[in-house]
Amino acid sequence: MHACTILVAVLSLSLLCGAAQAKLVEGDVTYADGGTALRGFLVMDTAASGKRPAVIVFSDWKGLGEQAKDTARRLAALGLVAFAADMYGAGVLAADGKEAAALAKPFRDDRALMRRRAAAALTVLAARPEVDPARIVAMGYCFGGTCALELARSGAALAGTASFHGGLGTPNPADAKNVKGAVVAYHGASDPNVPPPEVAAFEEEMTKAGVDWQLVAFGHAVHSFTNRSAGSDPGKGSAYNEKADKRSWEYFKVFLAETAGLTAP
């Protein structure tokens, strides 16, 4: 894997609210990719013993915000170690779509950069003493789905990879031969940002490479169907879809059981 420098372990841990969640802790983890300082977000159950499965969460194109952090919390509540990765740099968040597009463009144009930055997060997570490195899954939303898929195409040691309304295209389709573990794409069937030709190319890419892959398409769903802040108007091309959101999460838990050995309901 590409080298990265871990600067500091967990900086601070705080108990989550609620009696049922009293054993979960969360905190920032600082690390680096070359000269870029990064700050991820770790959540886990400190009362659990032994090594356990883990998930890397890649955020959408605005950067490491609340959706990725909330997902990490939900995964930790299931018994996994969850690490929301930082792709842009410590504290970097886009205020709007224009800023997000500018932040994401260098990674979309340079997939080696995308893979290296994603691999830095994997290195941090795999090194945790609580984590079983043979049971790590990568998942991501939108831009983050693309990050997760590119990490898998790089040959990273992943038990599974999941994309939620992510871009499925790649300039390097032959690299699918490097994929380790299963792959699933949760896709809005009416997503204008990931049109049918891109979906078909992804299916062909994965099939030719012999990957254990699935694509689950949700009818009437468009881009960002898991993101409540996307609004409710599918005519805009991005909108929250409650059914697709809930169904994809339930399907993802089945995927985690198959790939990482998740036993929680």
Q: What are phi and psi of 28, to 5 degrees?
A: -85, 150
**Mean pLDDT value of segment 169-179:** 98
- Residue 16, token pair as written in the block: 């989550």
Q: What is the mean pLDDT of the chain?
A: 92
How far is it, in rounded angstroms, from Cα 142 to Cα 166?
Answer: 4
HSE toward the beta carbon, residue 246, CA cutoff 13 A? 2
Tell me what pLDDT residue 264 has.
63
E-only strand ranges, the chain: 14-15, 24-33, 36-45, 52-58, 81-84, 131-141, 160-164, 182-188, 213-218
Domain ranges of the chain: 47-86+94-260
pLDDT in tens, 206-263: 999 999 999 999 999 999 999 999 999 999 999 999 999 999 999 999 999 999 999 8
Is residue 75 pLDDT above 60, yes or no? Answer: yes
Domain 47-86+94-260 falls under CATH 3.40.50.1820:
yes
pLDDT in tens, 85-116: 999 999 999 999 999 999 999 999 999 999 99
> What is the separation of C-alpha 245 from the centre of its chain, rounded to a whole number of angstroms?
15
- Residue 54, token pair as written in the block: 């883990």
How far is it, in rounded angstroms, from Cα 241 to Cα 15?
Answer: 31
The rounded percent of the chain whose pLDDT value lies above 70 is 91
Is residue 10 pLDDT above 60, yes or no? Answer: no
pLDDT band at 23 (very low <50, low <70, confident <90, very high): confident
